[in-house]
Amino acid sequence: MRYFRLFIAFLRIGIMNELAYRANFFVQLFESVLELGTALAGLAVVFSHTDTLGGWLPNEVLALVGVYFLVGGSIRLLIQPSMERLIESVREGTLDFTLVKPEDAQFLVSIQRVEIWKLTDIFLGLAVLAIALVRLGARVGAIQLMAFAGALLAGGVIVYSFWLILATLCFWFIRVENILVIFQSMYEAGRWPMSLYPSWLRFALTFLVPIAVATTVPAQALAGRLNWQTLAGMIGLAFIISAISRIFWRFGIRRYSGASA
């Protein structure tokens, strides 16, 4: 409960921060629409030359794009700006202020920045998702929706933990802010069905850089292509990677405060 109240406090700050730059909303809207347009155009080009892609129908891939924007927007709303701010604050020395506060540092750094206008990505994603679902017909039932929600949640945890691990690297490597660039292109892999990728790439995108799972598996759930093993595996992965990220974070803090490793 207390964590929720703290999150609201940071959310307020985030909203106020962004309201100070009202122009950002329109820029963000333009940006999001442009990105969505490119994704859809890419889809259109691909499907102008074929009817299925790795066994996926156009509307199933459209659903995937919707999930991609939904998850991507959520990352850009909270996770990414907070992690970027973390990396900055390590460099500036202002992380010390956070460490001196009587709350769990991982929690504080993870919610410290909310870029409220990224909600446009989330809404666009939901819109695309809705359209795709309508087109796919009434094949989506309660079970699919539950699996979808579960996969989405697990995916969110996986992505957050992965981002935290990357950001924690800033305790060792100074120029880690460039991570933004890789994440963008790595995340791109989640826009296409993972079944397309050769097995070694699928492995990498599931276990080494577990981002694509966050989009593909929920989309699979909606398309009715998900089997229980994959969902269970994903949830298990979520538990494991969140534990690893927590341990690594604490290790990083110890390193930062010069504790003997």
Chain center to CA of 9: 22
Complex with other proteins: residue 37 or 236, whichever CB lies closer: 37
Q: Site residues (CB under 8 A) for other proteins?
A: 2, 5-6, 9-10, 12-13, 16-17, 20-21, 24, 27-28, 30-31, 34-35, 38, 41-42, 45-46, 48-54, 92-94, 96-97, 99-103, 108, 169, 172-176, 178-179, 181-182, 184-186, 188-189, 192, 196-198, 201, 254, 257-260
Alpha-carbon torsion, ordered 207, 64, 137, 150, to 10 deg:
40
Compute the least distance from the CB of residue 53 to other proteins, in Å.
Answer: 6
Closer Cβ to other proteins, 17 or 242, answer by number: 17
CB of 204 to other proteins, least distance (A): 9
Cβ contact 66:128 at 8 Å: yes
- Which residue, 29 or 153, has its beta carbon nearer to other proteins? 29
Question: Quick one: which of 198, 208, 187 has its CA closest to 39?
Answer: 187
Q: How far apart are CB 105 and other proteins at their closest, in Å?
A: 8
List 56's β-bridge partners, or say none: 53
How far apart are CB 12 and other proteins at their closest, in Å? Answer: 8
Question: What residues have CB less than 8 Å from 54, skipping those under 6 apart?
Answer: 193, 195, 196
